[in-house]
Structure 1
């Protein structure tokens, strides 16, 4: 008498576990890569936004002030501004997560000449994750039209 046994043998069970494990490893690997790329993209966008904001603020300072002094140290940019009415103020650009650097330092007199500015903003934890913006600090010269 032959009985029809329904069930899995030990080998079939091991093969099915191995196949499911292999598929699981591929899925987990793909998901971890997508999360990693997503975090890098978010970080890059944040750095780009911060660089654009800082660039805009430096252009406004250049266009509205009589003169200013730039200094750059310890991932900070310090600007000592002399306004057109000879009042002075100091503005410090700093961020706990980002490092700022510029190629200019010293006294800048906006009415005399335009300046090329290279602004670099990088992640303090990952210096390879950085944005570099090259811009022209300009202002209409006094005595125009």
Structure 2
């Protein structure tokens, strides 16, 4: 009697399933690792853009006010115009990003610091301000960026 058997044995099916499972797990983990990296990159880009917008607004404040106080608390940066009565405060914040001043003029701390941009220093230059600003996600503080900036007034411009 001659037997012609067609088909797969149970061992062949199990080996094939285990190989496919292994390849599937590797592909799945690579996909999710790429997705997580992409989400972190998007988040960092958003933080950089929002911090650049904050810096632009702070430069505008520095160039227009005579004397002001700057400080950071509770994930926001506050600038108070000390020339108005009552004092007017501008608050710079974001619903998903925590802003914090790390240094003002190379002095660690978040303020308050009184700034008089029109006051001339000993070398004749105007009172410029250097800031180190940290931005981090509120729901994931480990994901953060730090930017250094310099608030200045243009030489020869009349800001009175």
Q: TM-score, normalised by structure 2?
A: 0.80
Q: Of 113, 121, 124, which aligns to 2:138?
A: 124
Question: What are the ranges of 5 or more consecutive residues in structure 2 without an aligned counterpart?
Answer: 105-111, 120-126
CA deviation digits over 1:77-118, x for unaligned, max 9? Answer: 1111257xx575321112221111112332111112111111
Question: What are the ranges of 5 or more consecutive residues in structure 1 without an aligned counterpart?
Answer: none
- Residues 131 and 143 of structure 1, relative CA distance in 2, 3 Å threshold: closer
For 1:66 and 1:127, locate their aligned partners in 2 and report how far apart those are by CA, in whole Å.
Answer: 35
Q: CA deviation at 1:125?
A: 2.1
**Coordinate RMSD, CA, aligned:** 2.0
The answer to whether the 8 A contact 1:118-1:135 is kept is yes
SS of aligned partner of 1:4:
coil
CA deviation digits over 1:10-58, x for unaligned, max 9? Answer: 1111111111111111111111101110111111101111110001110
- Name the structure 2 match of 1:97: 96
- Residues 79 and 118 of structure 1, relative CA distance in 2, 3 Å threshold: same
- Name the structure 2 match of 1:34: 34
Q: Where do 1:1-145 residues align within 5 Å?
A: 1-82=1-82, 89-102=88-101, 103-104=103-104, 105-112=112-119, 113-140=127-154
The answer to whether the 8 A contact 1:111-1:142 is kept is no
- Aligned residue pairs total 142
Q: CA deviation at 1:65?
A: 1.1
